[in-house]
Amino acid sequence: MSRPETSSPQISPHSTDQETTLIKKIALCAFLLNLGLAAMKGILAFYASSLAVTAGAIDSGTDAVASLILYGGLKLSTRKTASFPLGLYKIENLISVVIALFIFFAGYEIALQVIRSASAGPHVSLHTVLLLSAGVAATYFFGRYAIRIGQRTGSPFLMAEGRHRQVDVLSSIVVVASVVTDYFHWNYTLLGISTDQIGAAVVLIFIARAGWELLVDGMRVLLDASIDFETLDQVKRILEGHPMVVKVTSLIGRNAGRFRFLQTSIILRTGDLQRAHQISQILEEEIRRKVPHVERVMIHYEPQPRTHARIAVPLGDREGLISDHFGDSPYFAFVTVRWEDGAVEKREVMDNPYRAVDVAKGIRVAEWLVGQNVDHVVMKEDLSRKGPGYVLANAGIRSGITTAVRLEQAVEEAMEVGLNVEMGSKL
C-alpha cells in the first residue's frame, strides 16, 4: 500500500535571512557604484571630448539603471503570497537573464567603437587617466567580492553581478587604453585598424561568453531544468545511506533563485506508518544539514514488497552448529525463505569479518548484517538492550532468541511461528 508524501514546512534558517540581507546590501552598493562611475565618466567625457569615455559613461549609466531595477526585483523575490505560496525566488534568475541582456547591450556599444573611428582631437589630461584607472580598480575589486559572496550564498544575482563587473573591467580597460594612447600621442594602426579597436574586438569575445552563460543558466531555472547532477548524487547517497531505505525509486530537483526544491520516492524496510514518517523526517533533516539552500523536501515512501525473508544465524562451525555468542561467532548462516510456502531457496555460510576485533565487535557485526540485507536474526543471546540490538532495530531487522542447536531446527522453528511480511512475529 502506498504511503502518503511528507513535505517540509517552508523553513528558512536564520542564516538564510542574514544571507538575503547581505545580498540586498551588495545589490544596493552595485547601484551606487554604477551611478558614481556614470557621473564621473560623464563629466570626464564632457571635458575630454573623448568618444571612448562617452561610451564608457553610457555603459555605466545603463548599468546604474539596470542595478536599480534589479535591486527592486531582488526585494520582491523573498516575498510569499497566496498566489505565489512557493515564493518569488525565480525573480533572481529572471534578474540574471536581464543582466545578460545588458551585457549584450554593452557589447553592442563596444562593437560600435570597433566599427566607428575615434573622435577627433580629444583633450585627455592626467586626471582623466587616473580617475578612469581608479574606476577600473573599484569595479574589479567589487566584482571579485560579489562573486565570492555569491558562491558562498548560492545567489545567482550576485554571481551575475560579479561577472558583469568583470566584463565592465575589460571594457573599462579598453577605455583607459584609449585615453592613455591619446594622452601620450601613441597613435598606432594596423591595416587601418587602431590598437584600441583591436583590443575592443577581443573584449567582445569575453562579453559574448559571459552574457551567454548567464542567459543559459537563468533560462534553465526559469524553464524548471533539473538541478546539477552532483547535488542529486549527494542527496541520493544520503537517502541510500539510511539502513531503513531499501531503494530510491525516483529523485528530481529544481532551482528557484538560490534555493533548491527536492522530490523523491523511496522504498522503506517497514510497513509501520508512524515509523516511516519518523524516517522521512530524519532524512529531511540530514539533507538540509548537508545540502545548502534546500527550501523544500518532499518524500514519498512505500513499504518494501516482500516475497522472501533473509534469516541470519550465528554458527559455531560450517556444518550448522548454532553458536552461543553473537559477535564472537566464527560464522554466520544466511537462509532465504520464500513467504508463499516457507520453502528454503538458498543457504550460504560466511566468515564473521569482525570476530578478531577488540572494540565494539557486536555493533560492527550488527552493522555488517544490515549491509547484508537481513530481515531477521536468530540467536541465543538476548541483545534487545545492547548496542547490537539497537543497531538491528533501527534498521528494521527483527531479532529472536532460539534454544535450537542446529541451523535447520532454528529455521524450522522460525517457520512454525509464521514469520509474516511485516516481520512482526516473535520466535
Instruction: Give residue 29's identity as a one-letter amino acid code.
Output: C
In a domain, 314, yes or no: yes
The answer to whether the CB of 195 falls within 8 A of the CB of 108 is no
Q: Which residues contact 381 (CB under 8 A, 6 or more apart)?
A: 324, 325, 326, 401
Pair 200, 293 in one domain: no
Pair 134, 204 in one domain: yes
Pair 398, 277 in one domain: no
d(CA 96, CA 70): 9
In a domain, 3, yes or no: no
In a domain, 4, yes or no: no
Pair 55, 164 in one domain: yes
In a domain, 8, yes or no: no
How many structural domains does the chain have?
3
d(CA 294, CA 73): 22
Pairing of strands 376-379, 294-303: unpaired
Q: What is the dihedral of CA 234, 236, 242, 246, to 10 degrees?
A: -160
CATH of the domain at 131: 1.20.1510.10
In a domain, 5, yes or no: no
Pair 332, 280 in one domain: no
- Closest C-alpha to 228, from 302, 165, 154, 161: 154
| Cα angle value 423/334/272 (rounded, 5°) | 20
The answer to whether the CB of 407 falls within 8 A of the CB of 378 is no
| Cα angle value 298/304/310 (rounded, 5°) | 145
CATH of the domain at 370: 3.30.420.130
Domain stop point among 272, 303, 334? 303
How high is the pLDDT of residue 354?
93
* pLDDT tens for the chain, residues 1 to 427: 444 444 443 434 444 566 667 777 887 888 888 888 888 888 887 776 666 676 677 777 767 766 776 676 666 666 667 777 767 777 777 877 887 787 787 777 767 766 765 544 456 677 777 888 888 888 888 888 888 887 777 776 677 778 777 777 877 777 777 777 766 766 655 555 555 555 556 666 766 776 787 788 778 777 877 888 889 999 999 999 888 888 899 999 988 776 789 999 999 877 778 888 888 999 999 999 888 878 889 999 888 777 778 899 999 999 999 999 999 999 999 999 887 777 888 999 999 999 988 888 999 999 999 888 888 899 998 888 889 999 988 887 888 888 899 998 888 777 665 544 344 433 4
Pair 209, 260 in one domain: no
Q: Give CB contacts under 8 A, 24+ apart, made by 180-185.
A: 180/129, 182/50, 182/122, 182/124, 183/124, 183/125, 183/126, 183/128, 183/129
Pair 296, 320 in one domain: no
Helix axes 14-48, 156-184, angle to 10 degrees: 20
Pair 91, 210 in one domain: yes
State the distance between the two ends of the chain, measured CA to CA, in whole angstroms.
27
In a domain, 350, yes or no: yes
Helix axes 90-115, 195-222, angle to 10 degrees: 160
d(CA 326, CA 314): 6
Pair 98, 218 in one domain: yes
Cβ neighbours around 374 below 10 Å, total: 21
How high is the pLDDT of residue 307?
76
In a domain, 136, yes or no: yes
Is the pTM for the entire model greater than 0.85? Answer: no
DSSP β-bridge partners for residue 376: 311, 398
Domain stop point among 288, 303, 318? 303
Mapped onto helix, strand or coil, the DSSP state of residue 123 is coil
What is the maximum alpha-carbon separation in the chain?
107
User: 297 is written with which cell numbers?
Assistant: 523536501
Domain stop point among 192, 222, 252? 222
In terms of Cβ atoms closer than 10 Å to its own Cβ (0-12, 13-18, 19+), residue 41 is buried
The answer to whether the CB of 343 falls within 8 A of the CB of 307 is no
- Closest C-alpha to 246, from 310, 173, 301, 326: 301
- Closest C-alpha to 423, from 397, 389, 385: 397
Pair 44, 139 in one domain: yes
Cβ neighbours around 300 below 10 Å, total: 17
Domain ranges, residue 370: 308-416
In a domain, 9, yes or no: no
Pair 116, 198 in one domain: yes
CATH of the domain at 272: 3.30.70.1350
DSSP 57-101: HHHHHHHHHHHHHHHHHHHHHT---SS-TT-STHHHHHHHHHHHH
How high is the pLDDT of residue 13?
43
Pair 270, 400 in one domain: no
d(CA 214, CA 15): 26
Buried b or exposed e, range 251-278, using 16+ CB within 10 angstroms: bebbbbbbbbbbbbbbebbbbeeeebee
